[in-house]
């Protein structure tokens, strides 16, 4: 059904730690993994699934590690990859950084976690907050008090423990929208969408019942209310705490939140958005002599708003040299290891227009290999503003002890995958 | 302090030292020692010698230490089975520990110790743990049953654990339910025939309830299990779908894909006219699109699955083209998959956008991606007819870049475009020829040679071009050699006078100097054809080629159905059934989609039904050629049936009719007085070898040989066409495969039977739950017959066949019941001839010769429509008196006269007249005016309508002109089509 064994390898393919779950695949098969991977890479046919005889390797890479699952069955591939990413998440929460060193430094806990996270190839409890209640790094502390299974593990509410206490009951809500844009070289927007995310930082006592109200058009249509701006969410994904069938029937977002930080939901909006920062570029390449770059950036959002930490990244040929810049505002910097000019503007008010010129020399001898045409990318953040106009209308918090709790809401819009193709 | 210190002890006598530490009295020291042992084990050192000492540490109340010892046991128990028994007592004791964490740990670990002797001791503790009060222990014990089953299946059955496990499906705790389901599914998978997961509406209800409450992983187990269930009817199907759809909003991509699998499968059972069906379709698109923002590996799995979904239900994502546009930073495997899906979604509505993108990609630097992008442009041209011109001009632009691999790839796809749209884009040939020298890949060279051969008459220096390739003939790959041989033969047939030497050269290179049996065989076949009957050779070699369509790269429908049942799994990633890559799964039944519940609904979406339309039935066009090849090659294997020497075409043969060759053949044969030997295939194994020569489905080259040698449908007829020139010595000794091909030649001088088109697929299996019907119409001895081949491609027996027609233009109706007397078992094929009468109810159809048919069997009713050639309706007494003809011709108003051109027909007027007479088109008079033969002909339809024709044939001109006069002028178009079909076949 899923993985037969899980391996953590270093960059050379040496096994750092592994766990055999089912015993139906020879553990020595992993030796074929690295040669296979190299072979595929050379042929330009890199693929997340590799197979050697009847053994299939499903792998992901994280910092200087490969996480590999083996199987000889028709495994559920999406489950395996989800699980591998979950491993990364859990290990990262345990060790801060997941890398070769942290695996070695914590091998005892890693073994314990591998034992708890999956059984016979079936993923089990993978919520790191809950795991931390009974698998801790300091083994000595474990002894009696903690060596009980938290009932949470098998509870229907498997993501929140009982008996949490806060002096001040608060919940912080972050609404973050990322704009993905793909613009053609001739300036037409090929695709654009908004990926929104609502994150919670919950500091609430007990087992609170929460209900989140958004200006969701479908909900308003259902209830017959129709005032103010509403938003059509194309696809909504929820944290497992949200009652999906309830949402399906009456669009109510009701849940018992996990403690601390979590992503409550994400959504996608397909409406055509005007790219918030519009880039016009002229890149002229005079072979054997120079490259001239002119970039104009325009803030296409409300005058009252300000975009912070704007970075316009313009690709330059890898053999360019002797950069010269001129900017109407902000700072331009050449980052040779990435073949980029990074133009940084700390504060970019809406409606404004800025200009950057760059000049590079090119060697007279042309290099052989062709270079790709990387796009211009843009990074920015606009606080107190969402492009879609989504709003948190209420957050109701009910706990049986009856305490009053305060919800705080923050909005931010930022760049997601923001690419503008160039002509050169 | 971190654990890494444990790795650093590399002193001599380490094992000895560890032994001492393990036996230390101090708890701390013991634990440190065990950690060191585990560290050594982790880096791959053999520490099995410490087994007894480590096991001694097992009895401890320190949980961490216990876990480490258990870990050690799991690793080494197998190598020390006898000593592993030592651990049993502790396990049994731990299973009764007051701490549920320890109980669960013990039962979990015991199951992982794959030592037979231990398993019997495991039974009692396991039984207790399955009934434990703590759900954490129960959920662990549930998985343990699957572990035990893996080691000793019999034991599990004898101990009744399976029933206990089934009971756990009703457990109050959702996580226990989920693990029980997972364990049962796992066990069921290794026992395909057991009825373990006996899913019924009650259990399904329990599962659906648990679905709302268990962890994300548990949801996946349950959804995967649900996917194996077949609902009783569409109502149950709908209610399950309704309860599964909320899962599409789960943040975990794997949950979403498993839910998609259940929905895609159960949707098959919903009637298409149901509102809910449409709602469901709409609900599926957004989550699929969102999967594309997951991690790249998950994106890849999603894209491979979307590729399947798009083929099965194109309507779901038809408006989502944009999300598949390639991003610069996508990994290559994501880019290639997106490209593939873009082409599948390409339609007239979005083609402009798609082409702009593809052109952009074609200027990238990643060679594989660029190649695929160029190929994609070609596929668009073939798929979306309206875009062909734009695609061709895009390809020409790309050729101008002169980037070597772009040019080569472009030429390969342009060849396909030529095949698909003959006589449309040949103006670009000149540009292509300019790049001849830069082609270094076999596929591109072969494609270019094909183009030169195919259009030899329009390329002035075709002979020079081909000759230049010939110089290095033996260094070329087989693909190129075969193509070159064919191209030169084509050239010779088109320009016989200038190219005799060339053809002689290539034939001798192919037959005498080559070791490749395929090449030799093809060479001999051509040689023989050319030497015995150049006219036939021309018909064979230059025959019309079978169509190519974009369907060629679609996944075969039954496989597609199976893969849909495996959404999310490796099978769906590989696009292969599990049996192809999982050992020991051969006997496992292939999964199938459930049938639809609506009566007579075809399983397919309305879109594809209308697109597949009446006359197109595309999948049939190409695959049949494999058999043909077999036949062709058989001809050499069959020994002569009569005594005497094999047929040796001597140079002194009668070649009266060979005006085409003139004296050419003399020089071809004469100088080398040694006649071409009969190529006995002593050296090669089976004939199918031929079809291996050019695999790769997306390029259409496998059809080449079939195409060049006559094409599938045209084959038989092409050989039989000019009976007069068949040399007498040739017809006698052939048998077997040749019979099929040449027997028609025996009918010299006799009127041939009425023309009957080759069978085409009327009802593909995928639209009729496995029933495939192909068929044709024929008129035999004055009786119209519908001749059908019924094939059962489903898994179950089909019975109770019946047939009915809708009202149609000429009142065709079955004259008797459909004679399928015995049940049709899976994979069986039968031939049925259904006599038709013309006394049925009449209704004018559009097109006129359209016939709508309903076929019923025990499974369902299926509808299809087909067209019959109107010549079926020409009656035997259709010959008009001369006088009457003249009078009638004058009598019918000129407005009713319709004129048509029949192109590329190489018969003379007598042969044409003979051929037509076979189909009850009677020549009443013939007149010759200025070298032009005028044939006056009449025919009568079953409903008494007379059609009069004037056929003008000019010697040397392959284009005929036909004028038709009829009191019901709407039949003229059909009659013309029949003329064309009869004359050209």
* pLDDT number for residue B590: 74
Q: What is the pLDDT of residues B904-944, one digit of tens each?
A: 887 788 888 888 888 888 888 888 877 788 888 999 888 88
The residues, any chain, with a CB within 8 Å of residue B278's CB and separated by 6 or more, are none
Of all residues in chain B, the one with the smallest CA distance to A246 is B246
User: Which chain A residues are within 8 Å of B289, Cβ to Cβ?
Assistant: 234-235, 268
Check A46 against B356: CB less than 8 A apart: no
Q: How confident is the model at residue A163 (pLDDT cuts 50, 70, 90)?
A: confident
Contacting residues of A for B46, CB less than 8 Å apart: none
By C-alpha distance, the chain B residue nearest A112 is B67
Highest mean pLDDT among B41-45, B239-243, B793-797: B239-243
Nearest-neighbour CA in chain B from A28: distance (Å): 11
Asked if B659 and B722 touch (Cβ cutoff 8 Å), the reply is no
Q: Residue A331: pLDDT band by 50, 70, 90 thresholds?
A: very high
* pLDDT tens-place string over residues B385-402: 888 999 999 999 999 888
Q: Counting beta carbons within 10 angstroms of the beta carbon of residue A416, is it exposed (0 to 12), middle (13 to 18) or buried (19 or more)? A: middle
Residues in chain A: 424
Tell which B residues from 746 to 805 touch A, by Cβ distance under 8 Å.
Answer: none
Q: Is the pLDDT of residue B721 over 50?
A: no
The per-residue pLDDT for B707 is 37
- A77–B301 C-beta distance less than 8 A: yes
Q: For B266-313, how does the pLDDT look when each residue is reduced to its tens digit (9 = 90+)?
A: 999 999 888 999 999 999 999 999 999 999 999 999 999 999 999 999
- The nearest alpha carbon in chain B to A28 belongs to B44
Q: With bands split at pLDDT 50, 70 and 90, how would you rate the model's confidence at A327?
A: very high
Which of A27, A60, A74 to mutate against chain B (most B CBs within 10 Å)? A74
| pLDDT tier for residue A220 given thresholds of 50, 70 and 90 | confident
How far is the alpha carbon of A85 from chain B, nearest alpha carbon, in Å?
9
Of A46, A147, A153, which is closest to B136 when you measure between CB atoms?
A153
Q: Strand, helix or coil at B249?
A: helix
Determine how β-strand B960-966 pairs with β-strand B946-954: antiparallel
pLDDT exceeds 70 at position B613: no
Which of B165-179, B256-270, B619-633 is least confident?
Answer: B619-633
Q: Which residue in A13, A55, A119, A232 has the most chain B C-beta atoms within 10 A of its own C-beta, making it the best mutation to test that interface?
A: A119
Q: Peptide bond preceding B274: is omega within 30 degrees of 0, i.e. cis?
A: no
Nearest to A422 by CA among A376, A359, A379, A377: A376
Predicted pLDDT of residue A144: 42
pLDDT in tens, B74-126: 888 888 888 788 888 888 889 998 888 889 999 999 888 888 888 888 899 99
Decide if pLDDT at B704 tops 80. no
Structure ipTM over 0.95, yes or no:
no
d(CA B297, CA B337): 12
Structure tokens at A181: 């844009």
CB of B336 closer than 8 Å to CB of B369? yes
Picking from B253-262, B604-613, B947-956, which range would have the lowest pLDDT averaged per residue? B604-613
Q: Does B328 sit within 8 Å of A374, measured CB to CB?
A: yes
Among all residues of chain A, which has the CA nearest to that of B109? A115
**Three-state DSSP class for residue B404:** helix
CB within 8 Å of chain B, chain A residues 68-97: 71-79, 81-85
| Nearest-CA distance B30 → chain A (Å) | 13
Is B349's pLDDT higher than 50? yes
B327 and A CB contact within 8 Å:
yes
Give the closest of A56, A112, A238 to B251, CB-based.
A238
In chain B the first and final C-alpha atoms are separated, in Å, by 89
E strand spans, A121-259: 122-123, 170-183, 189-203, 209-214, 235-238, 253-255
Chain B segment 96-135 residues within 8 A of A by beta carbon are 99-102, 104, 108, 111-112, 114, 134-135
Question: Which residues of B are less than 8 Å from A134 in CB distance?
Answer: 101
Q: What is the mean predicted confidence (pLDDT) over A240-261? A: 91
Q: Closest CB to A49: pick one of B220, B325, B570.
A: B570
User: CB-based contact (8 Å) between B64 and chain A?
Assistant: yes
Backbone angles phi, psi at A211, to 5 degrees: -135, 125
Interface touch A46/B300, C-beta < 8 Å: no
> How many angstroms from the chain centroid is the CA of residue B5?
59
Q: Which residue of B has its CA nearest to A178?
A: B293
- Answer yes or no: are the C-beta atoms of B64 and A139 closer than 8 Å: yes
Chain B residue with the nearest C-alpha to that of A265: B251
In chain B, residues 576-595 whose CB comes closer than 8 Å to chain A: 578, 581-583, 585
Residue A347's DSSP bridge partners are: A308
Query: For residues B492, B494, B495 and B499, what is the CA-based torsion angle, rounded to 10 degrees?
Result: -10
Instruction: Name every residue whose Cβ is closer than 8 Å to that of residue B183 and which is 6 or more positions away in sequence.
Output: A120, A122, B142, B143, B145, B146, B165
Find the residue in A nearest to B74 (Cα): A20
Q: Which of B2, B332, B583 is facing A46, going by the closest CB pair?
A: B332
A142 and chain B: CB distance < 8 Å anywhere? Answer: yes
How far apart are alpha carbons B871 and B893 in whole angstroms?
Answer: 24
B566-593 mean pLDDT:
83
Res B176: pLDDT: 93
**Low-confidence winner among A52-66, A144-158, A245-259, B182-196 (lowest mean pLDDT):** A144-158
| pLDDT value at residue B80 | 80
- Per-residue confidence (pLDDT) for residue B472, from 0 to 100: 85
CB contact under 8 A, B249 and A74: no
Cα separation, A26 vs A296, whole angstroms: 59
Question: Who among A1, A105, A153 is closest to B186 (CB)?
Answer: A1
The CA distance from B236 to B242, in Å, is: 10
Q: How far is CA B782 from CA B207, B873, B920, B937, B948, in A?
A: 64, 9, 10, 19, 21
CB contact under 8 A, B301 and A240: no
Q: Kindly state whether A112 is in contact with chain B, defined as any CB-CB distance less than 8 angstroms.
A: yes
CA distance A22 to chain B (A): 8
CA distances for B646 relative to B637, B678, B743, angstroms: 13, 8, 18
- Note whether B249 contacts A247, CB cutoff 8 Å: yes
Q: Mean pLDDT of all residues in chain B?
A: 79
DSSP B782-811: TEEEEEEEEEE-SSS-B---EEEE--BTT-
Q: How does residue B217 score in pLDDT terms, banded at 50, 70 and 90?
A: very high
In this prediction, residue B619 has a pLDDT band, given cuts at 50, 70 and 90, of very low
Residue A266, beta-bridge partner list: A197, A237
Contacts of B801 (CB under 8 A, 6+ apart): B790, B818, B820, B824, B855, B856, B857
- Backbone phi, psi, residue B841, to 5°: -65, 145
pLDDT category of residue B13 using cuts at 50, 70 and 90: low
Contact B136 A149 (CB under 8 A): yes
Task: Please tell me if residue A147 touches chain B, with a CB cutoff of 8 Å.
Answer: yes
Least confident piece of the model among A134-148, A166-180, B535-549, B627-641: B627-641
Contact A47 B367 (CB under 8 A): no
Percent of chain B with pLDDT over 90: 30
B368 touches chain A (CB under 8 A): yes
A250 touches chain B (CB under 8 A): no
Using CB atoms within 10 Å of the CB of residue A153, give its burial: 0 to 12 exposed, 13 to 18 middle, 19+ buried.
Answer: buried
Q: Let me know: does B413 contact B375? Beta carbons within 8 Å.
A: yes
Residues of A with Cβ-Cβ distance to B328 under 8 angstroms: 372-375, 419, 421
More confident of the two residues B734 and B166: B166
pLDDT at B617 (0 to 100): 37
Contact B101 A105 (CB under 8 A): no
- Whether residue A184 lies within 8 A of chain B, CB to CB, comes out as yes
């Amino acid at each position: 059904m899923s993985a037969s064994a899980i391996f953590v390898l270093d960059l050379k393919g040496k096994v750092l730690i592994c766990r055999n779950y089912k015993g139906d695949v020879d553990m020595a098969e992993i030796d074929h993994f690295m040669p296979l991977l190299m072979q595929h890479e050379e042929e330009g046919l890199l693929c997340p699934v590799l197979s050697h005889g009847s053994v299939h390797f499903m792998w992901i890479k994280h910092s200087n590690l490969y996480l590999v699952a083996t199987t000889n069955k028709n495994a559920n591939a999406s489950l395996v990859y989800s699980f591998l990413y979950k491993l990364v998440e859990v290990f990262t929460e345990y060790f801060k950084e997941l890398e070769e060193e942290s695996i070695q430094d914590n091998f005892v806990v890693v073994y314990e976690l591998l034992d708890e996270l999956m059984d016979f190839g079936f993923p089990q409890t993978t919520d790191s907050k809950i795991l931390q209640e009974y698998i801790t790094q300091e083994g000595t502390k474990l002894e009696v008090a903690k060596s009980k299974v938290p009932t949470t593990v098998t509870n229907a509410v498997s993501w929140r423990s009982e008996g949490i206490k806060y002096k001040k009951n608060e919940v912080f809500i972050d609404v973050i929208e990322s704009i993905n844009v793909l613009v053609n070289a001739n300036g037409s927007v090929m695709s654009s969408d908004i990926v929104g995310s609502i994150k919670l930082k919950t500091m609430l006592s007990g087992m609170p019942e929460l209900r989140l109200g958004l200006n969701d058009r479908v909900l308003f249509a259902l209830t017959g209310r129709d005032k103010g701006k509403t938003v059509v969410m194309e696809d909504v994904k929820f944290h497992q705490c949200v009652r999906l069938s309830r949402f399906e029937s009456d669009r109510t977002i009701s849940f018992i939140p996990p403690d601390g930080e979590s992503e409550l939901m994400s959504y996608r909006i397909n409406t055509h958005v005007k790219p918030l920062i519009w880039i016009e570029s002229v890149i002229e390449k005079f072979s054997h002599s120079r490259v001239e770059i002119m970039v104009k950036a325009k803030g296409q959002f409300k005058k009252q708003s300000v975009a912070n930490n704007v970075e316009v990244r313009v690709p330059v040929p890898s053999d360019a040299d002797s950069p010269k810049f001129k900017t109407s505002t902000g700072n331009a910097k050449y980052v040779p290891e990435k073949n980029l000019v990074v133009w940084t503007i700390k504060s970019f008010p809406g409606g404004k227009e800025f200009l950057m010129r760059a000049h590079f020399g090119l060697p007279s001898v042309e290099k052989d290999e062709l270079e790709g045409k990387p796009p211009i990318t843009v990074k920015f953040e606009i606080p107190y503003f969402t492009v879609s106009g989504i709003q948190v209308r209420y957050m109701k918090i009910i706990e049986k002890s009856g305490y009053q709790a305060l919800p705080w809401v923050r909005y931010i819009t930022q760049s997601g995958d923001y690419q503008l193709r160039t002509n050169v | 302090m971190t654990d890494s210190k444990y790795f650093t002890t590399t002193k001599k006598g380490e094992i000895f030292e560890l032994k001492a530490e393990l036996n230390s009295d101090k708890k701390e020291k013991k634990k440190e020692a065990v950690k060191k042992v585990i560290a050594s084990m982790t880096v791959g050192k053999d520490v099995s010698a410490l087994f007894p000492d480590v096991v001694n540490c097992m009895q401890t109340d320190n949980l961490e230490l216990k876990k480490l010892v258990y870990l050690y046991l799991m690793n080494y128990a197998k190598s020390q089975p006898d000593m592993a028994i030592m651990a049993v007592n502790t396990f049994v004791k731990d299973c009764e520990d007051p701490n549920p964490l320890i109980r669960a740990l013990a039962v979990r670990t015991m199951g992982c110790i794959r030592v037979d002797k231990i398993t019997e001791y495991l039974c009692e503790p396991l039984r207790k743990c399955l009934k434990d009060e703590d759900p954490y222990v129960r959920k662990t014990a549930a998985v343990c049953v699957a572990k035990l089953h893996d080691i000793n299946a019999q034991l599990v059955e004898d101990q009744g654990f399976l029933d206990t496990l089934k009971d756990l499906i009703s457990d109050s705790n959702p996580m226990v339910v989920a693990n029980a389901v997972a364990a049962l599914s796992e066990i069921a998978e290794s026992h395909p025939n057991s009825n373990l997961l006996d899913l019924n509406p009650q259990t399904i209800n329990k599962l659906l309830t648990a679905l709302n409450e268990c962890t994300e992983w548990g949801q996946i187990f349950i959804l995967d299990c649900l996917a194996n269930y077949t609902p009783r009817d569409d109502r149950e199907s709908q209610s399950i779908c309704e309860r599964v759809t909320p899962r599409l909003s789960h943040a975990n991509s794997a949950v979403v894909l498993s839910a998609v699998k259940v929905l895609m499968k159960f949707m098959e059972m919903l009637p298409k006219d149901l509102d809910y069906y449409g709602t469901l379709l709409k609900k599926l698109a957004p989550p699929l699109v969102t999967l594309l923002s997951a991690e790249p590996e998950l994106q890849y799995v999603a894209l491979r699955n979307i590729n399947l979904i798009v083929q099965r239900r194109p309507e779901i994502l038809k408006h989502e083209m944009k999300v598949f546009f390639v991003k610069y930073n996508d990994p290559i495997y994501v880019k290639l998959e997106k490209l593939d899906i873009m082409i599948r979604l390409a339609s007239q509505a979005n083609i402009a956008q798609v082409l702009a993108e593809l052109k952009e990609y074609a200027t990238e630097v990643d060679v594989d991606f660029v190649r695929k992008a160029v190929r994609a442009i070609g596929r668009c041209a073939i798929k979306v007819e309206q875009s062909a011109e734009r695609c061709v001009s895009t390809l020409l632009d790309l050729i101008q870049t002169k980037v070597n691999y772009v040019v080569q790839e472009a030429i390969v796809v342009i060849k396909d475009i030529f095949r698909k749209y003959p006589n449309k884009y040949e103006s670009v040939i000149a540009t292509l020829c300019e790049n001849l020298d830069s082609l270094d890949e076999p596929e591109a060279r072969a494609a270019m040679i094909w183009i030169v051969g195919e259009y030899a008459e329009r390329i002035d220096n075709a002979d020079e071009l081909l000759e230049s390739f010939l110089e290095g003939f033996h260094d070329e790959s087989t693909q190129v050699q075969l193509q070159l041989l064919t191209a030169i033969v084509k050239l010779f047939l088109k320009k016989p006078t200038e190219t005799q030497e060339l053809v002689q050269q290539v034939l001798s290179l192919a037959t005498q100097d080559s070791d490749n049996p395929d090449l030799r065989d093809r060479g001999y076949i051509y040689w023989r054809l050319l030497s015995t009957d150049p006219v036939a050779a021309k018909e064979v070699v230059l025959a019309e080629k079978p169509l190519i369509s974009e369907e060629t790269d679609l996944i075969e429908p039954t496989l597609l159905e199976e893969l849909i049942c495996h959404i999310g799994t490796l099978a769906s990633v590989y696009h292969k059934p599990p049996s192809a890559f999982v050992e020991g799964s051969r006997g496992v039944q292939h999964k199938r989609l459930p049938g639809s519940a609506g009566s007579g609904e075809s399983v397919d979406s309305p879109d594809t039904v209308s697109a597949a339309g009446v006359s197109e039935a595309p999948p049939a066009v190409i695959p049949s050629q494999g058999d043909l090849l077999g036949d062709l090659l058989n001809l050499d294997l069959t020994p002569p049936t009569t005594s005497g020497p094999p047929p040796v075409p001597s140079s002194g043969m009668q070649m009266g009719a060979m005006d085409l060759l003139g004296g050419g053949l003399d020089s071809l044969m004469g100088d080398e007085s040694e006649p071409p030997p009969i190529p006995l295939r002593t050296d090669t194994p089976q004939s199918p070898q031929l079809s291996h020569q050019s695999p790769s489905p997306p390029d259409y080259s496998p059809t080449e040989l079939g195409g060049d040698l006559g094409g599938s449908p045209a084959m038989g007829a092409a050989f039989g066409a000019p009976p007069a020139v068949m040399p007498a010595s040739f017809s006698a000794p052939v048998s077997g495969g040749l019979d099929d091909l040449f027997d028609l030649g025996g009918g010299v001088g006799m009127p041939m039977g009425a023309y009957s088109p080759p069978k085409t697929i009327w009802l593909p299996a995928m639209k009729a739950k496995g029933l495939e019907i192909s068929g044709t119409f024929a008129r035999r001895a004055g009786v119209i017959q519908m001749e059908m081949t019924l094939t059962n491609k489903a898994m179950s027996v089909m019975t109770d066949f019946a047939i009915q027609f809708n009202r149609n233009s000429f009142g065709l109706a079955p004259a008797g019941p459909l004679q399928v007397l015995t049940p049709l078992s899976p994979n069986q094929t039968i031939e049925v001839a259904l006599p038709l009468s013309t006394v049925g109810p009449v209704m004018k159809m559009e097109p006129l010769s359209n016939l709508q048919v309903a076929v019923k069997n025990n499974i369902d009713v299926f509808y299809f429509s087909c067209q019959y050639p109107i010549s079926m309706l020409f009656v035997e007494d259709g010959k008009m008196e001369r006088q009457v003809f003249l009078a009638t011709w004058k009598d019918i108003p000129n407005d009713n006269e319709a004129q048509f051109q029949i192109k590329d027909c190489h018969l003379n007027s007598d042969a044409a007249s003979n051929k037509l007479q076979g189909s009850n088109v009677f020549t009443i008079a013939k007149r010759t005016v200025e070298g032009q033969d005028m044939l006056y002909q009449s025919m009568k339809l079953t409903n008494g309508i007379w059609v009069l024709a004037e056929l003008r044939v000019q010697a040397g001109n392959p284009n005929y002109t036909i004028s038709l006069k009829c009191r019901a002028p709407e039949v003229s178009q059909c009659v013309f089509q029949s003329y064309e079909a009869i004359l050209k076949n």
